[in-house]
Amino acid sequence: MSSHVERHHPTKPPITVGTGKSRFIEGLVQTAIEKDPRVAWFSLAILAAAIGKSKVDGSTAHTVSRIRQADLIAIDDIGQLTIGEDAAEAFYRVVDAACGSPLATGMEF
């Protein structure tokens, strides 16, 4: 588990239902916390709610910037359900900021 934390690049657990993805993320986050980095851990629904709330008061850039300051960003429950535009936008904004370069998409946000 610690090798995933030390590599500093995106890690994607298996996609199949019931393979322990959430447990894997839990272990990854716990290992990272023990090594003392900053961790941001969300379900996709919670991330969408945070970005949605920030759109209301105009603080989306600030919210994404605060999330981006984390050494590890874990987003769980991706692909569990069909997501709406707000969740897709939230996921896009965080991934775009974390990758450090603009991502191409046909969606308008």
* Confidence at residue 24, expressed as pLDDT on a 0 to 100 scale: 79
* Confidence at residue 17, expressed as pLDDT on a 0 to 100 scale: 63
Residues 21, 51: Cα–Cα separation, whole Å: 24
* Confidence at residue 100, expressed as pLDDT on a 0 to 100 scale: 66
CA 107 to chain centre: 19
Domain 2-99 has CATH 3.40.50.300: yes
* Confidence at residue 96, expressed as pLDDT on a 0 to 100 scale: 82
Domain boundaries, the chain: 2-99
Residues 84, 86: Cα–Cα separation, whole Å: 6
Whole-model pTM above 0.75?
Answer: no
* Confidence at residue 109, expressed as pLDDT on a 0 to 100 scale: 45
Structure tokens at 26: 């839990």
* Confidence at residue 98, expressed as pLDDT on a 0 to 100 scale: 79
C-alpha torsion sign, points 90, 39, 71, 19 = negative
State which residues of the chain have pLDDT below 70.
1-18, 80-81, 100-109
**DSSP at 15:** -
